[in-house]
Amino acid sequence: MKTILKLTIIVLLIMSFAQAYAAEMINGAGATFPYPVYSAWAFDYNKVTGTQLNYQSIGSGGGIKQITERTVDFGASDKPLTTEQLNKDNLLQFPAVIGGVVPVVNLPGVKAGELRLDSDTVCKIYLGDIKYWDDKGIKSLNPKTDLAHNEITVVHRSDGSGTTAIFTEYLSGVCPSWKDKVGAGTSVKWPAGIGGKGNEGVANYTQRTANSIGYVEFAYAEQNRLAYTLLKNPAGNFVAPSFDAFEDAAATGDFDPKKHFHLWLVNAPGKNAWPVAGATFILLAKEKTDENKNVVKFYDWAFKNGDAKAKELVYVPLPGSLKEKIRAYWKANGIQ
Amino acid sequence: MTRQSRRKIGGFVALVLCTLAALLGLFWLVIILGDVLIHGIKALKPGLFINDPVPPGVAGGGLRHAFIGQLLITGFATLIGVPLGVLGGTFLAEYARGRKIALIISILSDIMVSVPSIVIGTFIYAVLVRPLGHFSGWAGAVALSVIMVPVVLRTTEDMLSLVPWTLREAAFALGAPYYKVITQVVYRGAATGILTGILLSIARVAGETAPLLFTAFNNSFFSTNMGQPVASLTVTIFQYAMGPYDNWHEQAWAASFVITIFILVLTMAGRLIIKWRYK
Amino acid sequence: MPTTPKKNSVDTIFSSITAVSAFSVIILIAGILYTLVDESYPAIEKFGIWNFLTSTDWDPVRESFGALTNIYGTILTTFLSLMIAIPVAVGIAIFVTEISPNFLKGPIGAAIELLAAIPSIIYGMWGLFTLTPIMSRHIEPLLKSIFADVPFIGILFQGTPMGIDILTASVILSIMIIPFTASISRDAFNLTPSIVKESAYALGATKWEVVKNIVIPYSKLGVFGGIVLSLGRALGETMAVAFVLGNNHRITTSLFDAAATITVTLANEFSEADTDMYFSSLYYLALILFVMSFITLAIAKFFLLRAERKYSR
């Protein structure tokens, strides 16, 4: 008995200290939106440098919260914070990658890119005003699709989410009744539906529930073969979510370092622009200079070497000029 | 129909219903275990234990980080919880035997055993995670040990009370001080019982998820540094099962299989020891 | 204490260490209570107690929070699961103690204990992957076709059966608490003195009459304690319901709707509440849950202790 106990203690202690200082570790948490690309980058970065970047996708609300409480080295959020908010909590912010939020449906017989929706129908579905798939509004947009009289199950996020922030920002911009009744934010008071945890959870629930509609970052729709819909953009065109459509939305964006790059990319004016695009941001605690340098080193590496991987997962890498602006921002804040 | 046969039929129907209830209970066990077994074995590959996770969308990868992390967290929780529990139980059964305070602590422990474990997670977050500025394996281990202490304390108390008082008196008569009597006579008499209690308490905390969510957090890399976030099987199952990827689901089943077998073996071992020793 | 043992200094140290260890339980409970109250103080100050308990608002954008939707979900799922679990559990206990042939008692008892040992996250995952599709495709449509048009009960079975809802969560929860209730009831039944039972048999009572008129009345305190204990467990269960409840902060009447319990809300939102008031409100929820389950468990303990005293007399 005693020997077993001693052995266990020794083994545990050795295990816990042997590697303690062997691998450098960076802890990040936040948005699930860029999780596929961050984890792919971290995987490659670990192979090249040995540094472990542990990114946990707990939602943008979580990213903001945990960096504010200083329990992680960096937070990630798809909802950009304003200068005022950043100053209040002594934070820095820069964008990392651009992507798009897409509505996905689980309708028998409806394939990806077949269903057409506009801002009005999406808004009414999420408000619970449109309850059935054969609603007039949806039918008139889709005269050729066979829509049965089935009740719509709305899937939304249950956690604090930047994907939700982008999505509700989009709805608030195009749908006045949404703005009045619900508003925009990382978590809102949903008028209808069931909540899944993370982009992962929404994708999972949508997959499992017939006649449902959800919204996820495009990489989740692609990787899980979910049926995304077309959306009508402000220029009046029905566009499919794609690399080009996201890039078109990003092209009009003017990220300003003075505002810590605060910018929404929803409802961009471009002809082929996807209306629900957004950048995802990294948040740093200003006073943690050493940790910040490690984080910045990682993103600098990713900016140089990660573009191909990002494109493969249908994220839009930041344009070269923006990357330079970000590097200048790092230097100005003494973290590179 | 006579009153006699009405009674007989009524009784028969009621007894059949009870039998059906028992069958239903067995049915759930078979179904759940069977499901975990079938899906788990299918996904059980050697790579699962020696590889670390890969990004979603890439084939392969394993859960080595979570297996080791789970062992670390549970191991340290045991190291913290067992001594506290055993010593506390000793106080109740020996020094405070028969006193009101022993009864109060005993009742409070019984209540603590069933207090929602997620509340303990929020408590540890406030006292260990935020002030230290880190999610950490230590915080996870402490959270689990908080659940463990009352379990071990109560079994120890019960087991020590079973040791006949005359045994202690014999030792006192030889002039031994109380602490020596406890450590060398009473503990020996109750050793198997206490060990069983420890086994069952490990089984109890090894399957806990809720208290780890905000304490040990999670880690996608292999790390044995307890001062950093550490992955655990249960939190990984939660993340993977809620996720949309097929190979995540597969690995979640495999992890469930391993943890279920581990806990069932511990539980059975505990029960068998009790049977063998006390019947 | 029958004999006073010899005292010396080592003994004093040892006894103090054990005392500190024992008091750690009290310190922990006090610490938890203090921390929860302290952390939820801003929310208590802003929303008050009665307002918070009765408000159905859960609106992070406008930072207006109330606990009622969560309490409603918690109580509803707990109540439903007890409705399912109690008859089954008592049935199992009767079977094991009175009906089953001796060679089956051991295995069935072991099976029940194993069922109790399976971690709750396994129940949750199994619920999502296996039970949810069965519920949404077969059981719920069946229930809907039978009950939807029945007056009064009908409102419980409205809407689309999607499997991720109150009913599925309650079923999983009931499977989880059956073993607790069953094994405590079994222990209580076992304490009925056989001489009383045998006298009843001698008077010509049937087996069921013995169970109904002798065993159950004799052990009702213990059984009741067991049920209240299961209630306390069900209130605080997180993982088993987190997968299938659907996280919906609204009060609905249909069992086919999603809901939220206090535990599920904490699991989902605790690490990601981004404003102070939001976070404080979550601690407030945790406090309510702690108090609720503490009281329930104390009641259970009270009954179990009384039962114990009664039998040992």
Which DSSP letter does residue C123 get?
A: H
Q: Which of A64, A182, A193 sits opposite C274 (nearest CB)?
A: A64
d(CA A151, CA A157) in angstroms, rounded, equals 20
pLDDT of residue B5: 84
Mutate to test the interface with C, among B28, B35, B213 (most CBs of C within 10 A): B28
What is the average pLDDT across A244-267?
89
- Nearest-CA distance from A69 to chain B in Å? 7
Taking contacts as CB-CB distances below 8 angstroms, the residues of chain C near B115 are 32, 236, 290, 293-294, 297
- Are residue A13 and residue A115 in the same domain, yes or no? no
The answer on pLDDT for C310 being more than 80 is: no
Answer yes or no: is A41 within a domain. yes
pLDDT band at B155 (very low <50, low <70, confident <90, very high): very high
pTM given for the model: 0.89
d(CA C169, CA C255) in angstroms, rounded, equals 10
pLDDT, tens digit (0-9, with 9 covering 90-100), for C183-238: 889 888 888 888 888 888 888 888 888 888 888 888 888 899 889 999 998 999 99
- Nearest-CA distance from C25 to chain A in Å? 24
pLDDT, tens digit (0-9, with 9 covering 90-100), for C84-103: 999 999 999 999 888 888 88
Q: Which of B22, B175, B267 sits opposite C92 (nearest CB)?
A: B22
Which candidate, C268, C228, C256, C227, places its Cα nearest to that of C70? C268
What CATH number is given for C67-277 in this structure? 1.10.3720.10
Answer yes or no: is A176 within a domain. yes
Rg value, chain C, Cα? 24
Q: What angle do CA B23, B26, B27 make, to 5 degrees?
A: 85
Check A15 against B221: CB less than 8 A apart: no
Q: How far is CA A133 from CA A58, A139, A153, A204, in A?
A: 32, 8, 10, 21
Which candidate, C1, C7, C26, C12, places its Cα nearest to that of B98? C1
Chain B: partners with 3+ C-beta pairs within 8 Å: A, C
d(CA A35, CA A96) in angstroms, rounded, equals 12
Q: How far is CA B110 from CA B104, B237, C22, C114, in A?
A: 10, 29, 13, 21
Which DSSP letter does residue A132 get?
A: B
pLDDT band at B14 (very low <50, low <70, confident <90, very high): confident
pLDDT, tens digit (0-9, with 9 covering 90-100), for C248-306: 888 888 888 888 999 999 998 887 777 889 999 999 999 999 999 999 999 999 998 88
- Are residue A87 and residue A204 in the same domain, yes or no? no
Check A194 against C162: CB less than 8 A apart: yes
Answer yes or no: is A272 within a domain. no
> Which residues span the domain enclosing A15?
2-99+254-262+278-332
Residue the block writes with tokens 């059949």: B16
ipTM of the complex model: 0.91
pLDDT band at A14 (very low <50, low <70, confident <90, very high): low
The answer on pLDDT for A156 being more than 80 is: yes
Q: How far apart are the first and last CA of chain A?
A: 54
pLDDT, tens digit (0-9, with 9 covering 90-100), for A40-49: 999 999 989 9
Check B68 against A40: CB less than 8 A apart: no
Q: If you count residue pairs, one on A and one on B, with CB atoms under 8 Å apart, how many are there?
A: 101
pLDDT of residue B30: 86
Answer yes or no: is A270 within a domain. no
d(CA B146, CA B84) in angstroms, rounded, equals 10
- Are residue A124 and residue A205 in the same domain, yes or no? yes
Which DSSP letter does residue B260 get?
A: H
d(CA C242, CA C235) in angstroms, rounded, equals 13
The domains of chain C are located at 67-277
Q: Which of B11, B21, B22 sits opposite C209 (nearest CB)?
A: B11
Contact status, residue B83 vs residue C265, Cβ threshold 8 Å = no
Q: How far is CA B45 from CA B11, B70, B256, C136, in A?
A: 52, 19, 14, 32
Rounded to the nearest integer, the mean pLDDT of chain A is 88
Q: Which of C22, C39, C233 sits opposite B92 (nearest CB)?
A: C22
Run of H or E residues at C297: helix C276-312
Instruction: Indicate which CATH number applies to the domain containing A198.
Output: 3.40.190.10
- Are residue A196 and residue A134 in the same domain, yes or no? yes
Residue type, B215: T
- Are residue A155 and residue A190 in the same domain, yes or no? yes
Answer yes or no: is A106 within a domain. yes
Check C247 against A197: CB less than 8 A apart: yes
Taking contacts as CB-CB distances below 8 angstroms, the residues of chain C near A180 are none
> Strand A52-57 to strand A25-30: parallel, antiparallel, or no bridges (unpaired)?
parallel
- Domain count of chain A? 2
Chain C: partners with 3+ C-beta pairs within 8 Å: A, B
